[in-house]
Amino acid sequence: MEPFYAGGTGSPMVLLHGFTDTWRTWKPVLPALEAHHAVFAPSLPGHFGGEQFVPGAAFTIAASLDMIERQLDAQGIGRAHLVGNSLGGWGALELATRGRALTVTAICPAGGYDLGGPEERAVLRYFRNNERMLRASKAMLPRIAKSPALRRIAFRDLMARPGNIGAEDAWAFFEGAAGCAVYRDAIALSESGEAFGDLGPIDCRVRILYGTRDRIIRWPSHYRRLKTLRPGAEYVPLHGLGHVPMWDDPALVATRILQVSAPERVAA
C-alpha cells in the first residue's frame, strides 16, 4: 500500500480520508479533481499505509495533524484547498484554523455532534461493532470482497449505493480497517471526551457537505455542535448519498468540491 497519492496540476488540493480508511477512498473523484488541482492524498497517521506513531506516543488528533503538516511541508504545500471526509473532514477544519487552507470542503465530518451525547455514542458503537465484526469475519473477508451480494451488505452503512464498489476496492477498505493501528486508541480518545475540541477562527470559505442517507453522521442531529462552531459555513445536502459519497455519485461530489475550490471553472 502506497502511503499517499499525488497527481494533477494547478493549485494544491489536499484530501483527508476518514477513520480506518486510506487515501484510496478518493479514487472515484481523483480524475475530476486532478483536472483542476495538484492533488495530494495521504493515508492518515496511524492508518494502514500511513506514517506510524513512534512506540509509546499517544494518539491524538492534534499529533496526527502535526504529522500531516510535516508531510505538507515536505511536499512544498503551504496553503491548499482542504477536502476531508468524516474524521478527515474534522481534520480539514482544524488544519484551516492553523492557517493551511485556501478553502475547506468537509464531507460528512466527524466531531460536529454534542460531545458525550447520544449521537457520539452511536458513532462509537458503530466503530466498536465494526472492529468486532472484522475480527470475527477475518477469514471470510476475501469471499465477501468477491461477492456482489455480500459487498452490498458489508457496505450498506457506508454507502447509499454499495453496489457501486467492486471487489478490488472492497478489499482495500477491509485491508485499511484491519490495518488501522490506532483503531482502539482513537475510540478510547473519543470515549474520554478529548478527541474533538473547539475550532478557532478560519479565514477562508467553508462548505459542509452532508449525505441525506448517511447512516453514521446523520443530518441534522450529528451537526448540532458544528453549526454553533461554524455558523457561517455553507451546509449543502448530497441528496440520496451516504457517508462516503464519493462512491455513490463521484460526479456530483466532485462538482460540489470544485464549486468551492475552482468556482470560475465549474457551474453552480
Question: Which pLDDT band, with edges at 50, 70 and 90, does 268 fall under?
Answer: low
pLDDT higher than threshold 80 for residue 208: yes
CA distance 138 to 219: 32
CA distance 5 to 21: 14
pTM above 0.95, yes or no: yes
CA distance 108 to 267: 23
Q: What pLDDT shows up at residue 264? A: 87
Show the domains of the chain with their CATH numbers: 4-261 (3.40.50.1820)
Encode pLDDT of 157-197 as tens digits: 999 999 999 999 999 999 999 999 999 999 999 999 999 99
Are 81 and 13 spatial neighbours (Cβ–Cβ below 8 Å)? yes
pLDDT higher than threshold 80 for residue 12: yes
Helix ranges (DSSP H) in 137-249: 141-146, 148-154, 167-178, 183-191, 224-229
**What's the mean pLDDT in 198-221?**
97
CA nearest 123: which of 2, 263, 243, 12? 243
Are 23 and 92 spatial neighbours (Cβ–Cβ below 8 Å)? no
Q: What pLDDT shows up at residue 1? A: 57
Are 44 and 64 spatial neighbours (Cβ–Cβ below 8 Å)? yes
